[in-house]
């Protein structure tokens, strides 16, 4: 029987060579181990981390925008999608790949797709199979786009692949009831902007666009491969200006992935870092939704703008611009005759529209005249024959046959051009322009909206010489005195002017933010004697009662208003400014309506007055239910 | 030496052989085996159920005549109440039909009611199921809703020749489109991980933000009818608390379910008369 175990002597010299070799190799191994595990630990753990971890960033929902009474005017709504969790389909992808490949082989086709093409076909085929399930449940006929799927797998594999977006509630209900809980198909929700009132205040509120690169702050893993869910960013209006406040706080999670990049599900206790997204801050605007809707309804389908301000605080109650667009679909709301390009639907006329102020400017001409002494409230009178001669040029009045004798009050009431030609010329263009400057016609109002028009025109000899390189003519003064010519203003500027005038001051800084504790605004006094100021007010009150602005009359409300008519190229403009109540001014309004129809007399008293009336009626109805704010402290001398 | 060593490893070899055989079996045979497993088991389940019924019968025989008389009187009262309800329902159904005709609405899906005895309960932390004593022999179909007097019981997930398996409303694998009573917006209900001996509960998701519910002011959860499987208005339970979901878009919360679900002995299957309408 042979020996099963051989023995040897440890001192056998032949073994020393072997021991040395083994020892050397062990030394190399141990050195390598020490080098990698101790010296290069950070390098390899960093590489391992980069290979095995992925960061998914989820933007927080945007904050809401409310009107001054707490009504949501911009909110968020859930957007339901049906998504496919690709990580669960790897087996199916492989099986489908083999099946398709075998089919090709069995058919002995020489021109076969290569491996990449086969992979794409297999993936699309599997995804389509799942989409067919959805199609069956929802009665749809959708197909998977292979290129989209491939792009998704290559770029955002960790995120679920969206098969259908923006499901109706009924579709979502059918899916959650019919899809198995464990299916790779799942219903996914995301936040999207919701505008409950559609086109109301569309230009003011603005809209958002996709943001593929939401900001990530204070969330670890900046070095990791990061997948970002789409966020949104304000593009226009309040959404743009207050984007920083409205933006939610980004959340996210760090996931463990396998070498192919698919997510490895960890138990809850072992989940890696996760942070919930947080909704952005809400904004309470000064807009009064009831007044806004009343104004937009009254403007019907015409083109124009309406602005209403809280006289005491400068808070904007109404900021309307038509034609508009439905914020939910961003589709212009136009009549059949209107052309998208020509209508300027995207223009926010309230802050960007450049209009000659028409006869509403006569309030400033009267103020300038009274302050300079060119107009004396009791003595300044004129017999209006229907025109006024400036040199050889005949300047017409609205009343072709003349108004007869008119004082300051009567001239304002009936909007007599002749009175203002005469006394405008006596006041002089520089003083009239200075008055316009004092009331802020030469600069932006600074409202919290983007793209407010930057360079409004106030016509004056200096301006004309500098800009047009032309000499100022007396006819220019006559035109300027009645608000025609080169002076261009925005409806918001005119609203600020009338709000300032109602307070007996010269400047109003409008704001779109509501603050119940906001103190009353104060600016330099108008600088008129009380009697002079009252004369203008009387003229405006008579205008609202029996003059050109009588269509804006509201029972039980003392209104001061002034109509205006102007032309800008081929466009006729119908203006009206108003404030009320006269004994305690609280709301100031400016409305301008555009008209291009030939042979239609666009007068402020006809086309702008109904809008003013609608706003005032809505305001009166609401103010009767609420206590009146403290009376304005007039600064009239 | 060899036979002794083989003895030691023979259980593992046997297991390996069985597993290999199972792996090598044709797919058709495997499917057949799986399907027949339940059918072979079914008679035992049904027999066990009948034995329990017999046990109940004899235990009921132990009641005194006075108790039986009292139960009879109570039953008569209930029958009178139900008779009245049936008349009211007939009147309501006639009204609904008239309104459907007036408004040209498509008729609501019609169901045949099939009462079934619960034969077996299978409750675990991961799923809760009933096996009922009716199957294909009574025309039951997969997906058919199962209800009782307190509302939703569950949905049929497997139908065998003589039995059917019902996935209970308490089970985490059960999900349906619900709505809060008086509000027609669909929300998602899903069963929860239920511990034994505790009141059954489920979860709701996608609840609109303005809806509130607390233990003191719970909101009744009913089927929405929008999912196409359950008719609208069946009671599911009561929402006892709602919290803001992580994304801030909705609320999510707990639903207290009817405690009788775990002890039901008789349920009703709503078998759709025209499954293609659903």
Q: What is the model's pLDDT at position A60?
A: 86
Q: What is the model's pLDDT at position A431?
A: 96
Interface of A with B (CB under 8 A): 58, 60-61, 76, 78, 169-170, 172-174, 176-182, 187, 189, 191, 248, 251, 276-279
Query: Per mean pLDDT, which range of A178-182, A562-566, B176-180 is the poorest?
Result: A178-182
Contact A173 B224 (CB under 8 A): yes
End-to-end CA distance of chain B: 69
CA-to-CA distance for B116 and B264, rounded, in angstroms? 11
List pLDDT tens digits, range A204-231. Answer: 999 998 887 777 777 777 788 877 777 8
**Residues whose CB falls within 8 Å of the CB of residue B250, separated by 6 or more in sequence, listed in order:** A78, A189, B205, B206, B207, B208, B209, B244
**Residue B45 is inside which H or E element, if any?**
helix B27-61
Contact A191 B249 (CB under 8 A): yes
* Identity of the residue in B226, B229, B247 whose CB atom sits nearest the CB atom of A61: B247
List pLDDT tens digits, range A352-408. Answer: 999 999 999 999 999 999 999 999 988 999 999 999 999 889 999 988 889 999 999
Q: Helix axis angle, A417-427 relative to A429-438, nearest 10°?
A: 100
Tally Cβ neighbours within 10 Å of residue A197. Answer: 20
List pLDDT tens digits, range B135-158. Answer: 999 999 999 999 999 999 999 999
Q: Helix axis angle, A429-438 relative to A474-481, nearest 10°?
A: 40
The alpha carbon dihedral of B26, B31, B36, B37 has a sign of: positive
End-to-end CA distance of chain A: 135
pLDDT, averaged across chain B: 87
- If one compares A414 and A14, the residue with the highest pLDDT of the two is A414
Q: What is the model's pLDDT at position A3?
A: 56
Pairing label, strands B151-159, B164-168: antiparallel
Contact A181 B248 (CB under 8 A): no
Contact A176 B177 (CB under 8 A): yes
Contact A173 B246 (CB under 8 A): no
Among B25, B42, B61, residue at a domain's last position: B61
CA-to-CA distance for A361 and A457, rounded, in angstroms? 13
The alpha carbon dihedral of A285, A593, A541, A423 has a sign of: positive
Q: Does B276 touch chain A (CB under 8 A)?
A: no
The dihedral over CA atoms of A81, A84, A85, A86, expressed in degrees to the nearest 10, equals: -140
User: Residue A311: which of A558, A70, A504 has the closest Cα?
Assistant: A504
Which chain B residues are Cβ-neighbours of A179 within 8 angstroms?
175
Half-sphere exposure of A433 (CA within 13 A, CB side): 21
List pLDDT tens digits, range B204-236. Answer: 988 988 899 999 999 999 999 888 889 899 999
CA-to-CA distance for A108 and A453, rounded, in angstroms? 71
State how far residue B157 is from chain A, nearest Cα, in angstroms: 11
Interface probe with B: pick from A60, A77, A82, A176, most Cβ of B within 10 Å: A176
* Identity of the residue in B228, B229, B249 whose CB atom sits nearest the CB atom of A78: B249
DSSP state of B238: E
Q: What is the model's pLDDT at position B189?
A: 94
Query: Per mean pLDDT, which range of A75-84, A443-452, B32-41, B67-76 is the poorest?
Result: B32-41
Query: Per mean pLDDT, which range of A329-343, A352-366, B14-28, B159-173 is the poorest?
Result: A329-343
Query: Per mean pLDDT, which range of A272-286, A618-632, B89-103 is the poorest?
Result: A618-632
DSSP assignment of A223-283: TSEEEE--EEEE-SHHHHHTHHHHSPBPEEEEEEB-TTSPBPP--GGG---EE--BPPPPE
Among B79, B107, B135, residue at a domain's last position: B107
Contact B246 A278 (CB under 8 A): no
* Identity of the residue in A76, A176, A279 whose CB atom sits nearest the CB atom of B188: A176
State how far residue A176 is from chain B, nearest Cα, in angstroms: 6
Which chain A residues are Cβ-neighbours of B177 within 8 angstroms?
172-174, 176-177
Q: Does B127 touch chain A (CB under 8 A)?
A: no
> Is residue A267 predicted with pLDDT exceeding 60?
no
List pLDDT tens digits, range A72-116. Answer: 999 988 888 999 988 888 889 999 999 999 988 888 777 888 889
If asked whether residues B211 and B231 sit together in one domain, one would say yes
CB A407, CB A442: distance < 8 Å? no
State how far residue A458 is from chain B, nearest Cα, in angstroms: 50
CATH of A289-331+348-623, one of 3.10.129.10, 3.30.420.40, 3.40.710.10, 3.50.50.60: 3.40.710.10
**Residues whose CB falls within 8 Å of the CB of residue A23, separated by 6 or more in sequence, listed in order:** none
If asked whether residues B245 and B187 sit together in one domain, one would say yes
pLDDT, averaged across chain A: 88
Backbone conformation region of residue A206, classed left if phi is above 0, alpha if psi is from -120 to 50, else beta = left
CA-to-CA distance for A601 and A573, rounded, in angstroms? 10
**Residues whose CB falls within 8 Å of the CB of residue B226, separated by 6 or more in sequence, listed in order:** A169, A170, A173, A174, A177, B177, B179, B186, B232
Which chain A residues are Cβ-neighbours of B229 within 8 angstroms?
177-178
Which chain B residues are Cβ-neighbours of A170 within 8 angstroms?
186, 226
Q: Does B228 touch chain A (CB under 8 A)?
A: yes
Buried-state track A7-24, b at ≥16 Cβ within 10 A, e below 16: eeeeeeeeeeeeeeeeee
Contact A78 B174 (CB under 8 A): no
Contact A182 B250 (CB under 8 A): no
Q: Does B111 touch chain A (CB under 8 A)?
A: no
B61 φ/ψ angles, rounded to the nearest 5 degrees: -65, -20
Confidence of residue B194 (pLDDT cuts 50, 70, 90): confident
If asked whether residues B80 and B34 sit together in one domain, one would say no
User: Is the N-terminal amide bond of A314 cis, ω within 30° of 0?
Assistant: no
Show the CA angle centred on residue A618, arms to residues A617 and A624, nearest 5°: 85
Q: What average pLDDT does range A587-595 have in this prediction?
A: 95
Tally of domains in chain B:
3
If asked whether residues B156 and B262 sit together in one domain, one would say yes
* Identity of the residue in A76, A180, A278 whose CB atom sits nearest the CB atom of B249: A76
Q: What is the model's pLDDT at position A156?
A: 79
Tally Cβ neighbours within 10 Å of residue A422. Answer: 23
Helices (H), A35-89: 41-52
Tally Cβ neighbours within 10 Å of residue A222. Answer: 9
If asked whether residues B132 and B103 sit together in one domain, one would say no
If asked whether residues B262 and B132 sit together in one domain, one would say yes
Q: Does B106 touch chain A (CB under 8 A)?
A: no
> Is residue A191 predicted with pLDDT exceeding 90?
no
- Per DSSP, chain B holds a count of helices (H) and strands (E) of 3, 12
- If one compares A505 and A276, the residue with the highest pLDDT of the two is A505
A248 φ/ψ angles, rounded to the nearest 5 degrees: -75, 165
State how far residue A129 is from chain B, nearest Cα, in angstroms: 21
If asked whether residues B94 and B124 sit together in one domain, one would say no
If asked whether residues B125 and B217 sit together in one domain, one would say yes
Residue B153 belongs to domain spanning:
111-278
Which chain B residues are Cβ-neighbours of A248 within 8 angstroms?
248
CA-to-CA distance for A508 and A587, rounded, in angstroms? 13
* Identity of the residue in A177, A251, A279 whose CB atom sits nearest the CB atom of B177: A177
Query: Per mean pLDDT, which range of A258-267, A335-344, B124-133 is the poorest?
Result: A258-267
> Is residue A426 predicted with pLDDT exceeding 70?
yes
If asked whether residues B149 and B194 sit together in one domain, one would say yes
Q: What average pLDDT does range B260-275 have in this prediction?
A: 88
CB A502, CB A632: distance < 8 Å? yes
* Identity of the residue in A169, A181, A279 whose CB atom sits nearest the CB atom of B186: A169
Q: Does B250 touch chain A (CB under 8 A)?
A: yes
Contact A276 B177 (CB under 8 A): no
Show the CA angle centred on residue B63, arms to residues B61 and B67, nearest 5°: 135
Q: What is the model's pLDDT at position A588?
A: 97
Q: What average pLDDT does range B100-111 have in this prediction?
A: 77
Q: Does B247 touch chain A (CB under 8 A)?
A: yes
Q: Does B41 touch chain A (CB under 8 A)?
A: no
Q: What average pLDDT does range A16-42 have in this prediction?
A: 91
- If one compares A220 and B79, the residue with the highest pLDDT of the two is B79
Query: Per mean pLDDT, which range of A102-116, A511-525, A561-575, A577-591 is the poorest?
Result: A102-116
Tally Cβ neighbours within 10 Å of residue A327. Answer: 26
If asked whether residues B57 and B145 sit together in one domain, one would say no
Q: What is the model's pLDDT at position B31?
A: 82
Show the CA angle centred on residue B82, arms to residues B114 and B221, nearest 5°: 70
Q: What is the model's pLDDT at position A637?
A: 43
Q: What is the model's pLDDT at position A265?
A: 59
Contact B190 A191 (CB under 8 A): no
If asked whether residues B97 and B225 sit together in one domain, one would say no
> Is residue B272 predicted with pLDDT exceeding 70?
yes
If asked whether residues B268 and B130 sit together in one domain, one would say yes
Among A297-301, A627-631, B121-125, top mean pLDDT goes to A297-301
Confidence of residue A6 (pLDDT cuts 50, 70, 90): low
In chain B, the residue whose alpha carbon lies closest to the alpha carbon of A75 is B249
> Is residue A338 predicted with pLDDT exceeding 60?
yes
List pLDDT tens digits, range A599-611. Answer: 667 777 789 999 9
CB A521, CB A313: distance < 8 Å? yes
User: Is the N-terminal amide bond of B133 cis, ω within 30° of 0?
Assistant: no
> Where do you find CATH 3.90.1310.10 in chain A?
54-284
CA-to-CA distance for A599 and A584, rounded, in angstroms? 40
**Residues whose CB falls within 8 Å of the CB of residue A449, separated by 6 or more in sequence, listed in order:** A204, A237, A238, A241, A348, A351, A512
List pLDDT tens digits, range A114-172. Answer: 889 999 999 999 999 999 999 999 999 999 999 999 998 888 787 889 999 889 888 99
Contact A174 B228 (CB under 8 A): yes
Question: In CATH, what is the architecture of A54-284?
Answer: Alpha-Beta Complex (3.90)
> Is residue A527 predicted with pLDDT exceeding 70?
yes
Task: Quote ipTM for the complex.
Answer: 0.77
Q: What average pLDDT does range A566-582 have in this prediction?
A: 92
> Is residue B177 predicted with pLDDT exceeding 80?
yes
Confidence of residue A636 (pLDDT cuts 50, 70, 90): very low
């Amino acid at each position: 029987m042979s020996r099963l175990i051989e023995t040897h002597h440890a001192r056998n010299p032949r073994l020393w060579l072997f021991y040395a070799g083994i020892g050397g190799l062990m030394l190399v191994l141990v050195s390598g181990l020490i080098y990698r595990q101790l010296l290069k630990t950070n390098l390899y753990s960093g590489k391992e981390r980069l290979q095995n971890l992925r960061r998914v960033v989820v933007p927080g929902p945007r904050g809401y925008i409310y009107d001054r009474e707490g009504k949501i005017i911009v909110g968020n709504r859930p957007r339901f999608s049906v998504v496919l969790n690709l990580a669960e389909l790897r087996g199916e992808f492989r099986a489908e790949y083999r099946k398709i490949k075998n089919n090709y082989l069995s058919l002995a086709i020489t021109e076969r797709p290569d491996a990449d093409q086969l992979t794409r076909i297999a993936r699309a085929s599997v995804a389509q199979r799942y989409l067919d399930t959805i199609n069956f449940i929802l009665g749809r006929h959708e197909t998977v786009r292979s290129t989209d799927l491939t792009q998704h797998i290559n770029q955002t594999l960790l995120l679920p692949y969206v098969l259908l977006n923006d499901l109706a509630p009924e579709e979502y209900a059918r899916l959650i009831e019919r899809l198995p809980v464990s299916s790779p198909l799942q219903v996914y929700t995301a936040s999207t902007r919701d505008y409950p009132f559609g086109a109301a205040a569309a230009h003011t509120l603005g809209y958002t666009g996709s943001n593929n690169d939401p900001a990530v702050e204070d969330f670890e893993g900046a070095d990791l491969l990061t997948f970002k869910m789409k966020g949104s960013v304000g593009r226009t209006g309040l959404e743009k200006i207050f984007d920083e406040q409205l933006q939610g706080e980004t959340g996210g999670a760090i996931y463990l992935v396998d070498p192919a990049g698919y997510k490895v599900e960890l138990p809850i206790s072992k989940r890696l870092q996760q942070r919930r997204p947080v909704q952005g801050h809400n904004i309470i605007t000064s807009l009064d939704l009831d007044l806004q809707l009343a104004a937009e309804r009254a403007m019907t389908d015409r083109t124009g703008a309406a602005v209403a301000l809280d006289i005491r605080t400068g808070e904007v109650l109404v900021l309307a611009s038509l034609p508009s667009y439905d914020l939910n679909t961003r589709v212009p709301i136009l009549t059949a005759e209107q052309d998208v390009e020509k209508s300027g639907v995207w223009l926010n006329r309230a802050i960007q529209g450049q209009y000659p102020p028409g006869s509403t400017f006569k309030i400033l001409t009267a103020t300038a005249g009274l302050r300079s002494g060119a107009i004396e409230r009791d003595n300044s009178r004129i017999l209006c024959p229907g025109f006024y001669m400036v040199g050889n040029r005949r300047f017409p009045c609205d009343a072709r046959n003349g108004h007869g004798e008119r004082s300051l009050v009567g001239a304002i009431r009936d909007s007599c051009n002749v009175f203002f030609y005469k006394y405008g010329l006596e006041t002089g263009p520089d003083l009239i322009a200075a008055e316009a400057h004092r009331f802020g016609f030469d600069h932006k109002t600074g409202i919290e909206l983007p793209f407010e028009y930057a360079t409004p025109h106030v016509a004056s000899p200096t301006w004309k010489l500098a800009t047009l390189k032309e000499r100022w003519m007396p006819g220019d003064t006559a035109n300027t005195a009645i608000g025609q010519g080169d002076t261009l203003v925005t409806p918001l500027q005119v609203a600020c002017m009338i709000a300032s005038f109602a307070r007996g001051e010269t400047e109003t800084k409008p704001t779109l933010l509501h603050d119940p504790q906001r103190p009353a605004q104060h600016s330099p006094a108008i600088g008129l004697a009380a009697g002079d100021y009252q004369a203008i007010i009387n003229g405006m009150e008579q205008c609202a009662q029996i003059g050109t602005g009588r269509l804006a009359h509201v029972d039980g409300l003392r209104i001061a208003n002034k109509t205006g008519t102007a032309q800008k190229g081929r466009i006729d403009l119908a203006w009206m400014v108003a404030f009320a109540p006269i004994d305690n001014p609280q709301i100031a309004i400016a409305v301008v309506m555009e008209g291009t129809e030939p042979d239609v007399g666009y007068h402020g008293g006809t086309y702008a007055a109904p809008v003013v009336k609608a706003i005032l009626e809505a305001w009166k109805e609401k103010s009767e239910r609420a206590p009146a704010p403290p009376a304005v402290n007039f600064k009239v001398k | 030496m060899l036979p002794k060593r083989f003895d030691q490893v023979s259980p593992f070899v046997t297991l390996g052989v069985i597993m290999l055989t199972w792996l090598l079996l044709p797919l058709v045979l495997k499917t057949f085996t799986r399907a027949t497993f339940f059918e072979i088991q079914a008679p035992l389940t049904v027999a066990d159920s009948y034995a329990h019924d017999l046990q109940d019968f004899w235990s009921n025989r132990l009641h005194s005549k006075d108790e039986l008389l009292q139960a009879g009187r109570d039953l008569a009262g209930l029958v009178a109440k139900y008779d009245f309800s049936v008349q009211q329902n007939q009147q309501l159904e006639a009204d609904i039909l008239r309104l459907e005709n007036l408004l040209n609405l498509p008729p609501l899906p019609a169901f045949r009611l099939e009462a079934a005895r619960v034969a077996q309960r299978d409750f675990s932390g991961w799923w809760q199921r009933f096996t009922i004593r009716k199957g294909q022999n009574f025309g039951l179909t997969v997906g058919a809703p199962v209800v009782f007097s307190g509302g939703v019981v569950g949905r049929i997930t497997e139908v065998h020749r003589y039995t059917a398996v019902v996935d209970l409303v308490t089970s985490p694998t059960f999900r349906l489109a619900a709505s809060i009573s008086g509000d027609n917006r669909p929300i998602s209900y899903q069963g929860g991980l239920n511990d034994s001996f505790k009141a059954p509960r489920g979860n709701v998701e996608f609840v609109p933000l303005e809806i509130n519910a607390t233990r003191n002011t719970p909101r009744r959860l009913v089927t929405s009818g929008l999912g196409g499987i359950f008719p609208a208005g069946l009671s599911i339970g009561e929402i006892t608390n709602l919290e803001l979901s992580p994304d801030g878009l909705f609320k999510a919360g707990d639903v207290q379910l009817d405690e009788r679900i775990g002890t039901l002995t008789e349920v009703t299957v709503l078998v759709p008369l025209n499954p293609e309408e659903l």
